[in-house]
């Protein structure tokens, strides 16, 4: 269950994925693929690396390979289209494009003549992945390459000097490694001081950087990883609640019960009895779909928008 260093299991070696979601946010995570987020309606507060912004209907958000990104849109209604794809489909020697800003407004798309091509791209990817007719992979790849280079022709680049860019990239890389470590070692006794040391930061500086780049305090982030694991075990295994708490890094059952309810809105016992993991009232869940055009065992971690969640963070 890789949710925070997102590793996707594709139905084939053709690494392209599309889906649409309504009224969601997502926790900070990163992956090697390029991610395009198109806001069909409403708005979404999104952060990519250290750039935070609000995307409105008609806007396009570009999350380049390796970028750490999250959305905190608990109070916003939205409909978002996602296209995620292997950068190797763009170029076998692809490197991060270092765009000056990840947000392309609807106005810019119109001025650059890219609004219609974007709509065509989304429709093409969705239809071709669903039907899988002969040469569908070639058609999807050509559509992605065509739109990407039309976009790249217009997008301004970052004006960071090489030294500043390298420092920034090194810091982001260290945070990527930390997120991956947390995802794999959530059951361990991990303290803020331990996490800060892994990035060679003081505790106070680490806390500020972590909150800025993930939108959430370190301990809450770690607890969310742990509760996600606990939620899955409660629904999918016959283990006792006490054993699940220990398996997920909680040494105190009272603390586990409190944190679990803060995050999901349910006690562990009531949560285990829920009939449907993906019901609208489930506040923290793994989105899955048996349909072939979606990723098998999709690892995208979503949060149902709610004011309660924001207050908890």
Residues 6+ apart with CB under 8 A from 54: 43, 44, 45, 46
Q: Into how many domains does the chain fold?
A: 2
- Give mean pLDDT, residues 158-163: 68
Domain that holds residue 83: 16-154
Q: Is residue 9 part of a domain?
A: no
- Look at residue 164 and tell me whether its pLDDT is greater than 90: no
- Which of 133, 154, 175 is a domain's end point? 154
Please tell me whether residues 71 and 148 are part of one structural domain.
yes
| pLDDT value at residue 310 | 38
- pLDDT: is 73 or 137 the higher one? 137
- Look at residue 250 and tell me whether its pLDDT is greater than 90: yes
* 138: its two tokens: 């070639």
Closest CA to 247 of 230, 267, 264, 272: 230
User: Helix or strand or coil: residue 202?
Assistant: coil
For 22-68, what is each residue's pLDDT tens digit?
888 788 888 889 999 999 999 999 999 889 999 999 999 999 998 88
Phi, psi of 62 (to 5 degrees): -115, 115
Q: Is residue 211 part of a domain?
A: yes
Q: Is residue 293 part of a domain?
A: no
Q: Mean pLDDT lowest for which of 44-48, 96-100, 187-191? A: 96-100
- Look at residue 187 and tell me whether its pLDDT is greater than 50: yes
- Look at residue 5 and tell me whether its pLDDT is greater than 50: no
Please tell me whether residues 84 and 168 are part of one structural domain.
no
CATH number, domain of 203, equals 1.10.10.60
Please tell me whether residues 139 and 168 are part of one structural domain.
no
- Look at residue 143 and tell me whether its pLDDT is greater than 60: yes
- Give mean pLDDT, residues 140-163: 89
**Other CB atoms within 10 Å distance of the CB of residue 271:** 21
The Cα 251–Cα 233 span in angstroms is: 17
Please tell me whether residues 119 and 228 are part of one structural domain.
no
Please tell me whether residues 234 and 191 are part of one structural domain.
yes
Please tell me whether residues 135 and 242 are part of one structural domain.
no
Q: Is residue 78 part of a domain?
A: yes
Please tell me whether residues 177 and 136 are part of one structural domain.
no
- Which of 114, 130, 154 is a domain's end point? 154
Please tell me whether residues 36 and 150 are part of one structural domain.
yes
- Which of 87, 122, 154 is a domain's end point? 154
Query: Which residue intervals of 45-113 are DSSP H helices?
Result: 106-111
Mean pLDDT, the chain, rounded, equals 83
Q: How confident is the model at residue 10 (pLDDT cuts 50, 70, 90)?
A: low
Residues 6+ apart with CB under 8 A from 144: 16, 83, 85, 89, 90, 121, 125
Strand partners, 20: 81
Q: Mean pLDDT lowest for which of 49-63, 169-183, 243-257? A: 169-183
Could you give the percent of the chain with pLDDT greater than 70? 82
CATH number, domain of 137, equals 2.60.120.280
- Look at residue 307 and tell me whether its pLDDT is greater than 60: no
């Amino acid at each position: 269950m890789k949710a925070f260093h997102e590793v996707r299991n594709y139905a084939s070696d053709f690494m392209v994925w599309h889906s649409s979601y309504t009224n969601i946010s997502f926790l900070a995570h990163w992956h090697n693929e390029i991610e395009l987020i198109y806001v069909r309606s409403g708005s979404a507060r999104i952060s990519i690396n250290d750039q935070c912004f609000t995307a409105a209907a008609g806007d396009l958000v570009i999350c380049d390979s390796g970028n750490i990104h999250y959305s905190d849109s608990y109070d916003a209604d939205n409909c978002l289209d996602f296209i995620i794809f292997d950068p190797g489909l763009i170029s076998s020697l692809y490197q991060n494009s270092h765009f000056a800003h990840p947000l392309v407004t609807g106005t810019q798309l119109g001025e650059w003549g890219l609004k219609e091509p974007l709509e065509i791209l989304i429709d093409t990817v969705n239809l071709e992945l669903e039907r899988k007719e002969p040469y569908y992979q070639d058609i999807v790849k050509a559509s992605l390459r065509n739109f990407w280079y039309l976009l790249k022709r217009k997008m301004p680049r970052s004006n960071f000097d090489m030294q500043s860019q390298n420092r920034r990239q090194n810091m982001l890389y260290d945070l990527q490694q930390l997120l991956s470590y947390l995802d794999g070692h959530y059951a361990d006794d991990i303290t803020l001081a331990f996490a800060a040391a892994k990035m060679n930061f003081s505790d106070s500086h680490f806390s500020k950087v972590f909150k800025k780049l993930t939108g959430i305090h370190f301990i809450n982030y770690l607890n969310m990883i742990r509760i996600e694991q606990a939620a899955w075990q409660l629904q999918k295994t016959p283990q006792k609640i006490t054993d699940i708490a220990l398996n997920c890094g909680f040494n105190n059952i009272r603390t586990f019960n409190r944190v679990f309810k803060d995050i999901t809105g349910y006690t562990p016992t009531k949560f285990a009895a829920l009939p449907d993991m993906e019901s609208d009232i489930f506040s923290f869940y793994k989105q899955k779909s048996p349909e072939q055009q979606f990723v098998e065992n999709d690892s995208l971690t979503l949060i149902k928008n709610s004011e309660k969640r924001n207050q908890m963070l």
